[in-house]
Amino acid sequence: MDVSVIVTSANTTSERRISYDWSISHFKTRLEQITGIPSSAQKLQLYVSEAEDPVIIVAPAGYSDNDANVGMFADRIVPYARLHVEDTRPPHVWENYTDVSEVDKFELSLEEYEKRTDTVLAWKKRNNLGRFGMSAERAKESKTVDSTGIQAGQRCLVSEPFERRGLVKFVGKVRDLPGNDLLWVGVEFDEPVGKNDGSIKGNRYFQSKPNHGSFLKADKVQVGDFPAIDEFLSEDEEL
């Protein structure tokens, strides 16, 4: 007959099935594999109830561990009783399974790690995730001015949120705007439809008439042959 018990020791806790047919010697051998405590140093204490004193499982007088079997204690080994295995050796010889300071560790340099193809880092690179990925909005924002060919002195058209024409006066980074790594285009509009005069927070980036200047992301600016607006011309004449 088999029965499930809870086996505990100083370092382990597990549920195990044991057989009444096992000899105590065989039983201790099995417990050594679970707890790491040598058979010769085991003291087996069976707790049917935590409120009661434990039953010590030891071969009766006239029996050895090889002759006595677990079934001799069948009246006390009830399902899910707790069997505690105590180590009778002096504490200084106990194995410390929680101290990993002496355990050989696998070490890998950052250079070697980055070369491997079976790592989380490699997976992120393949799938453009984390610092290797970029959302569509971020990709749009980070478009460099160099890739668009925008240069100071070019005429330009800004279509959003409404159509405006002007002159590119500045190309570069603006520390007073979000995204310090982005390149901004400073435009002086032909009409007073801007937000500033080419300065932000007291720092000047280009010279513009009041309310004619604005800073825009590169994807908002189209450069080309866009003549200055003459407000005295009719729409037909301008075209």
Q: How many residues does the structure list for the chain? A: 239
Amino acid 41: pLDDT: 92
Residue partners of 20: CB distance under 8 A and separation at least 6: 1, 2, 3, 69, 70, 71, 74, 77
Q: What is the pLDDT of residues 146-158, one digit of tens each?
A: 556 899 999 999 9
204 closest CA partner among 194, 213, 217: 213
Amino acid 141: pLDDT: 46
Cα dihedral sign, 175-178-180-181: negative
Per the DSSP assignment, residues forming a β-bridge with 196 are: 213
Residue numbers of the chain with a pLDDT score lower than 50: 136, 139, 141-143, 234-239
pTM to 2 decimal places: 0.41
Amino acid 31: pLDDT: 94
Amino acid 239: pLDDT: 42
Q: Which domains does the chain have, with CATH numbers?
A: 2-90 (3.10.20.90), 110-134 (no CATH), 145-223 (2.30.30.190)
Q: Quick one: 220 exposed, middle or buried, by C-beta within 10 A (0-12, 13-18, 19+)?
A: middle
Amino acid 210: pLDDT: 94
Q: Quick one: 25 exposed, middle or buried, by C-beta within 10 A (0-12, 13-18, 19+)?
A: middle
Amino acid 74: pLDDT: 87
